[in-house]
Amino acid sequence: MLNYPSFFGVKAGQAVCYSGYRRGQRPGEAIPSRAEVLEDLVLVAQHFDYIRLYSIDDHTEMVLDILSENQIDLKVMIGAYLEAEVNNPHCGWDSGVYSEEVLLANRDKNQDQVQALIRVAEQYSDLIFALAVGNEACVSWTDHLVPVEQIINYLTQVKNHCHQPVTVCDNYVPWLGPMEPLVACVDFIAIHSYPAWEYTDLDQALSLTQSDLEKVTAKYPNKPVVITEAGWPTRANGKGIPVNFAHPMAQKTYFQAISRWAKKQEVLVFWFEAFDEPWKGSEDPDEPEKHWGLYTVDRMPKRALTKGGYKP
State the Cα–Cα distance between residues 280 and 278, nearest whole angstrom.
6
pLDDT of residue 3: 65
Q: Give per-residue pLDDT as tens, 246-288.
A: 999 999 999 999 999 999 999 999 999 999 999 998 899 999 9
Phi, psi of 227, deg, nearest 5: -95, 105
Over the Cα atoms of the chain, what is R_g? 18
Are 92 and 101 within 8 A, CB to CB? no
Q: Give per-residue pLDDT as tens, 37-93.
A: 999 999 999 999 999 999 999 999 999 999 999 999 999 999 999 999 999 998 877
Q: Give per-residue pLDDT as tens, 202-232.
A: 999 999 999 999 999 999 999 999 999 999 9
Say yes or no: domain 4-305 is CATH 3.20.20.80.
yes
Task: Give the DSSP letter of residue 81.
Answer: P
* Domains of the chain, residue spans: 4-305
The mean predicted confidence, pLDDT, of the chain is: 95
Q: Could you tell me which of 212, 195, 190 has the C-alpha nearest to residue 255?
A: 195
